[in-house]
Structure 1
Amino acid sequence: MAAFDEQSDALREAALAAGPEATVPTCPEWTVERLVRHVAAVQAWVLACIADPHGSDARGERPPKVWDEIVPWWDGTRAELRRAFDAGPDTPAQIRFPFYEANLGSWARRQAHEVAIHRVDAELAGGRDATTFDTAFAADGVDEALSMIIHRRTADWSAVEASGTVLVHAEDARRLWSLTLTPGQPPALTGPAAPDVTLSGGADAVYKRLWRRPADVSITGEVTLLDPLETP
């Protein structure tokens, strides 16, 4: 829960510093205003999912379209979401993504990383260097991306022809992920195997690379095998 608070506050500060008309280089055709509206809409949708834990088609409120109204509306929405998280991680909540447990713990984790990556976007839009995330937080983001998020990349893997083994190494976190790619199937986390491509670097850099944000990583081997691992 603390990570959600920290990243949300940092995103808000970066967005206000950049200004609503600033372009977002990591999200083509977006301005900071569009970025904030997106985050606010997502969090309103999450609130709707929490309010209807056993439903299947939650629909959140839509944020205002005027910048001076968007920010206070978002402030209220994220404050309400934070209060909802206080019910505890095991509290049931509707979640429509595969591989996630349907509870508040899953949403708190997902939203912490959602706002963290968009924090990077807002910082870059304002001409600032992107923050360097804490090693443990970044490594958790890598784990979420590889074990859960990549399965949202497409509902139909039949056209994906990649075949091989990918090793992802967050060096400072001393964590390794090995994934097997089989044509027509989603990537599968497996035990250690000789890799066809290795993506390595600090946890912060690997985390950002998986989310297609600027990052200083090392890639050795067949780089195209990383394509199926890109987040949506």
Structure 2
Amino acid sequence: MSINALAIIQQEADRLAAVLGATDPAQQVPTCPDWTAADLLWHLTEVHEFWAEILASRATTEEEVTAIDEAKAPRPMEQEELLARREAATDALLAQLAARKDEESAWFWFSQEQTVGITRRMQTHEATIHRVDAELTAGQPITPISPEMAAAGLDHVLRVMWPAGYEWIPDWASTKPVAVIEIRPGDGTPQLLGISRWSGTRTRDGQAFDAPVGRLLEKPADAEGLPRATVSGSAISLNLWAWGRAQVLDHLANAPGPVEIHGDPEAMAQLEALIAEGHD
């Protein structure tokens, strides 16, 4: 990829840590209301530790990944210890990414992407979005995201984050197409997003489920007859919106403009439900 992933991960992770290190650990994260500032710092720390170990161990199976997750060290209670552990975790992740090529095999939670490259891409966006969370939590100005990085982040949601949801639909559930969304980046190519809902009742406990999933449509014919809406905006605006961070747009200097959504009310409701699934 043309984006310097290692530099971005380093820069964004360091910025997040510096901001949160000077923030009340109990401060609520507006974009992730169940988290405090300390929770956000820990999240990035354990994410970097987890993926560093996956790459270092050359894990490729679910069993290997489960063992890695179960063996992780407990969360530190003291802020200074957590800050030091975050720094070590980021260093370990960057060392592994620097030593591996994108085309090498590595476990990832989306079956269509099982290489080191997808981890590299995922972690650039993970660090960037959570840096935005940190600055918002601290009440500090939001550092701009470059148009190139924003376009890549939007593409990652459309091609990886949302489609992966189809792989988590249980065998006992049924899936029904419910809406089509045309996404129009002001500085990119329009794309059609199909939204479906999966639903059913789990046999072992009778619990009912009903949730949205989305993925890009391969053929325009797949969009026929469904409620339709259009989403438009700059790559920066759409990136933050797709990652569930539309509220951040109000805090950006030289704001890139709002995300505009028009169309069938049912399609817009299904889209709102998909966004609400979240990308913590």
For the superposition of Structure 1 and Structure 2, which TM-score range results when normalised by the shorter chain? 0.7 to 0.9
Partner Cα separation in structure 1 for residue 9 and residue 80 of structure 2: 23
Of 205, 208, 211 in structure 1, the residue corresponding to residue 237 of structure 2 is 205
- When normalised by structure 1's length, the TM-score is 0.87
Q: Report the CA distance between 1:231 and its aligned residue.
A: 4.0
The residue aligned with 2:262 is 220
The residue aligned with 2:96 is 84
Of 50, 54, 62 in structure 2, the residue corresponding to residue 56 of structure 1 is 62
- Give the match's secondary structure for 1:179: strand
Partner Cα separation in structure 2 for residue 207 and residue 45 of structure 1: 25
Structure 2 counterpart of 1:219, one-letter code: I
- Give the match's secondary structure for 1:20: coil
Question: Which deviates more from structure 2 when the two are superposed, residues 32-41 or residues 219-228?
Answer: 219-228
Partner Cα separation in structure 1 for residue 192 and residue 77 of structure 2: 44
Partner Cα separation in structure 2 for residue 224 and residue 120 of structure 1: 26
Q: What RMSD over aligned residues (CA atoms) do the two structures have, in Å? A: 2.4
The residue aligned with 2:201 is none
The residue aligned with 2:207 is none
- Work out whether residues 108 and 115 of structure 2, in 8 Å CA contact, stay in contact via their aligned partners in 1: yes
- Work out whether residues 162 and 225 of structure 1, in 8 Å CA contact, stay in contact via their aligned partners in 2: no
Give per-residue Cα distances to partners, 1:34-58, cap 9 Å, x unaligned. Answer: 1111111111111221113333232
Cα distance change, pair 26–231 in 1 and its aligned pair in 2 (3 A): closer
The residue aligned with 1:169 is 184
Question: Which deviates more from structure 2 when the two are superposed, residues 64-73 or residues 221-230?
Answer: 221-230
- Greater gyration radius: 2
Partner Cα separation in structure 2 for residue 188 and residue 209 of structure 1: 16
Q: How does 1:105-184 map to 2 (within 5 A)?
A: 105-153=117-165, 155-156=168-169, 158=173, 163-172=178-187, 174-184=188-198
Q: Report the CA distance between 1:161 and its aligned residue.
A: 5.0
Q: Report the CA distance between 1:153 and its aligned residue.
A: 4.3
- Work out whether residues 162 and 215 of structure 2, in 8 Å CA contact, stay in contact via their aligned partners in 1: no
- Give the match's secondary structure for 1:65: coil
Partner Cα separation in structure 1 for residue 139 and residue 76 of structure 2: 26
Instruction: Name structure 1 gaps, 5 residues minimum.
Output: none
The residue aligned with 2:216 is 189
- Work out whether residues 28 and 137 of structure 2, in 8 Å CA contact, stay in contact via their aligned partners in 1: yes
- Give the match's secondary structure for 2:33: coil
Cα distance change, pair 113–231 in 1 and its aligned pair in 2 (3 A): same
Partner Cα separation in structure 2 for residue 84 and residue 141 of structure 1: 22
- Work out whether residues 162 and 182 of structure 1, in 8 Å CA contact, stay in contact via their aligned partners in 2: yes
How many residues are aligned here? 230
- When normalised by structure 2's length, the TM-score is 0.73
Q: Report the CA distance between 1:186 and its aligned residue.
A: 4.4
Give per-residue Cα distances to partners, 1:136-157, cap 9 Å, x unaligned. Answer: 1111111110111013447228
Partner Cα separation in structure 1 for residue 184 and residue 17 of structure 2: 31
Q: Going by fraction, where is strand more abundant, 1 or 2? A: 2
The residue aligned with 2:107 is 94
- Give the match's secondary structure for 1:105: helix
Give per-residue Cα distances to partners, 1:167-196, cap 9 Å, x unaligned. Answer: 112213x23221123454943312556881
